[in-house]
A and B are shown apart, each in its own frame.
Chain A
Amino acid sequence: MFPSTGNRKRTGESKLFSKRLELNAFDALGVIYLTAGVLFAVAAQLVLKLGLLNSGSCDDQLMIPCVGRKIVTGPIMLGISLHVIDTIFWIFAVSRLELSFAYPVSSLQYILIFAASWYVLGEHISSLRMLGLMVICAGIIVMSLDARKI
């Protein structure tokens, strides 16, 4: 769910990671971890949304107990597990890759989730929403221009 903010703090603890300071943007294993992380993140959100859609509406009930009951169902637990796996992959990926490379690639998540929302869930993506997505991705790429200094 929130894959790309948690672990980038790690560059601050360079002492703990001193053995891995020579990072390479195109470390093959790192790229595999990163790709897996992105795919698991997209899958997690899709499964969560599908699980919520298929378990009925909460309209006429109190929101928190209603969603609480849904959490213990299979699809939601699966979605949460996928999200945990995605976070672990992201931690492995950023321990091998430069953040200035990992960051922009992780913004692919936003694009893939939009594509999946449209293709799998049949959500309507208005041109304004599309424009908003492109501006956010541009922002993440601009931020990554000096990601080494985080």
Chain B
Amino acid sequence: MSPIVYLLSTVALVVCCQFLIKRGVSGSLARRGRNKNVLQRFVSRVFERHIVAALCLYAVATVLWLIALSMVDLSYAYPFVSLSILFTVGGAVVWFRESVSTARKVGIGLICGGLFLIALT
């Protein structure tokens, strides 16, 4: 498979992790942790099911990243990490109903433009 497939799958998985983590740390956890000490709160947060799922996906993403990295230059692969910003912001708008300012849209446009230039090389 082309290295770009591995790079894009890594990015997709990492973005899924971000949503799962956001889901996991939002909502009831803040209340649930009220009467516990720091360690108990940390443990209950890390072993929340969305967070556990995110960590597992992250491990898969790491393997895919290593596959990609074994095929292409580091200076080609690393800028693809910035693509996760685009999808994370996009998903945040669609699923978490966050609003996105003009500055952020312009920034994301620039990131995609730069990435496109690198992908051409």
Contact = CB atoms under 8 A, between A and B. Distances in A.
Interface of A: 1-2, 4-6, 9-10, 12-13, 15-16, 45-46, 48-49, 52, 58, 63-64, 67-68, 70-71, 76, 80, 110, 113-114, 116-118, 121, 123-126, 128-129, 131-146, 149-150
Nearest to B116: A132
Interface in B55-104: 61-63, 65-67, 69-70, 73-76, 78-79, 81-82, 84-85, 88, 98-99, 101, 103-104
Contacts of B38: none
Contacts of A1: 62, 65, 81
B117 to A, nearest CB: 3
Contact of A12 (B22, B114, B116, B121): B22
Interface of B: 1, 14-15, 17-18, 21-22, 25-26, 30, 61-63, 65-67, 69-70, 73-76, 78-79, 81-82, 84-85, 88, 98-99, 101, 103-104, 106-118, 120-121
A63 B61 CA distance: 15
Contacts of B69: 48-49, 52
Candidate in B18, B106, B121 with the most chain A CB atoms within 10 angstroms = B121
A52 B14 contact: no
14 contacts: A2-B84, A52-B66, A80-B62, A113-B78, A123-B73, A125-B75, A126-B121, A131-B114, A135-B110, A139-B112, A139-B113, A140-B111, A142-B107, A143-B104
A9 B22 contact: yes
Contact of A114 (B61, B75, B107): B75
A48 B66 contact: yes
Given A5-B88, A49-B74, A80-B62, A139 B18 contact: no
A46 B77 CA distance: 12
A127 B118 CA distance: 10
Contacts of B65: 1
